[in-house]
Structures are given as C-alpha cells and as structure tokens.
Amino acid sequence: MNAIYILWIRQLKRYVRSRARVVGSLGQPLLFLLGLGFGLGPTFRRAGEGDYIQFLAPGVIGMTILFTAIFSGIELIWDRQFGFLKETLVAPVSRTAIMFGRTLGGATVAVFQGLIVLVICLLAGFRVHDLRVIPVAFVFMILIGIMFTALGTAIASTMADFQGFQLVMNFLVMPIFFLSGALFPLTNVPKVLGFLAAVDPLSYGVDGMRTSFIGIAHFGMATDFAVLSILTAVFLAIGSYMFSRIQL
C-alpha cells in the first residue's frame, strides 16, 4: 500500500509542476463546449431537443477525462526511455502495486481536469437538475478515469517510443469519443451506429454522468454503473498483466 500511495503522490506532483499541461489540456474541451455548444445550440433547440449546452456538457467532461487518462501512458514511455522506470521496477515492490499506483495517480489527474471543465460548464450556463446527485456523477468520473488510465498503461507497456503511442491513441481515442454519444443523442440513430455506441466503453460513462446531471438516460444508470465497473476491473487486469511483462 505504501508503494501505491508514493506513486500516486508522484503522479500528482508531476501534474502540479506542469502548469502548461494544465492550461493546454483545457483548450480542446473549451473549443467543443463553446464552439459546438453555442454554434449548434439554436439548431439543436429547433429540433426539439432542448438546450444543447445541457446535453453537451457531460460529454465534454467525459472527453476531458478520457484524453487526460489515456494519454497518461506517455509518462510511462518517458520514464522507460530516461531510466526512471528501471529505478522503480528494481524496488522490492510488486509490479502490480506499481501499476496500481501509477493508474490511481493518472486517474486522479484526469478526474481533477474533469472537475475544472465542470466548473467552466457551469459558468457557460450548464445547470445540474439536482445537486444531491453530484456525488453519483463523481463516481462515474472516477470509473472513467481509472478505466482509461489502465488502458493507456496497457498500451504504453508494449510501446518503445512516443510516435507509436501517438498513432495508436489517435486511432482509438477519437472513435471512442465520437461514438460515445457525447455530441449527439443515441436515440433513433442507424443500427450500425447504435451497435458501435453500445460497445464503446465511454458511452456508459457519458450516459451515467448525463443521467446524474440532467436526468436524461439512454442505457439506464444501473446498466451504466454495472458495465463501467466490469470494464474497469477488466482493464485493470489487462494493464497489470501487460505492465508485468515490460522488458527493460
């Protein structure tokens, strides 16, 4: 447990020291929130779907957590190339504990980024229908963060350079985001798109947050929580296995 805590704190210190990273990571969420939210808002309202900012905000929060969490794998490649990972792995601590510590640190950073975007959404006009359900939304944010940090760690464990990681991430991240229903309702979509959304892990996180924040559900909160919990456990197991096989 001490090793997990130490690695967790180490990830947080890295984040605090990198002010440029904090500011830069907010650029894309702000672009989607302000550009799409206000740009497509009138069209969304005329279609009878209500306020687009209300619908879009949970998706933007989910996107922020997704991007921050999954790209935390880059730090693993950085540590591997510059020898910091070797110093960690030679310590008398199991690799599973090391992986869990790194994952918790990356997930905490991702959730904190999501909370910053939530505040920005509130300033932009987003309103929560019941303040008592905010802790429920926070649970979904944590599950998203842990799940995709573990996935990023699993992928980074097989990579030796930054270029390969970036290619794989771009191939995965954008489809995961766009197919999750973060930008558009999943009702009455083509069957193929509905199937892809149903197998997209982020869909359940976005739907869970949207249900918590504004009371609009597609899959149902119980389904969202069950699927996310199972997938988080699966990705943690995969990430632990891949991390244990790292060759220095």
Give the tokens for residue 80. 């591997």
What are the residue ranges spanned by the domains of the chain?
A: 2-244
Q: How far, in Å, CA of 70 to CA of 177, rounded?
A: 12
Q: How far apart are CA 92 and CA 97, in angstroms?
A: 11
The verdict on pTM exceeding 0.85 is: yes
228-240 burial, b if ≥16 CB within 10 A, otherwise e? Answer: beebbeebbebbb
* Phi, psi at 236, each rounded to 5°: -65, -40
Q: Between vectors from CA 71 to CA 69 and to CA 73, what angle results, nearest 5°?
A: 95
pLDDT in tens, the chain (248 residues): 565 666 656 666 665 555 555 566 677 788 878 777 777 777 777 766 678 888 889 999 999 999 888 887 777 777 777 666 666 666 667 777 878 888 888 888 889 889 989 998 888 888 888 888 889 999 999 999 999 999 988 888 887 776 776 777 678 888 999 899 888 888 888 889 989 999 999 999 999 999 999 888 889 899 999 999 999 999 999 988 888 877 66
Question: What does R_g of the chain's alpha carbons equal in angstroms?
Answer: 18
**Closest Cα to residue 37, out of 134, 141, 126, 128?**
126
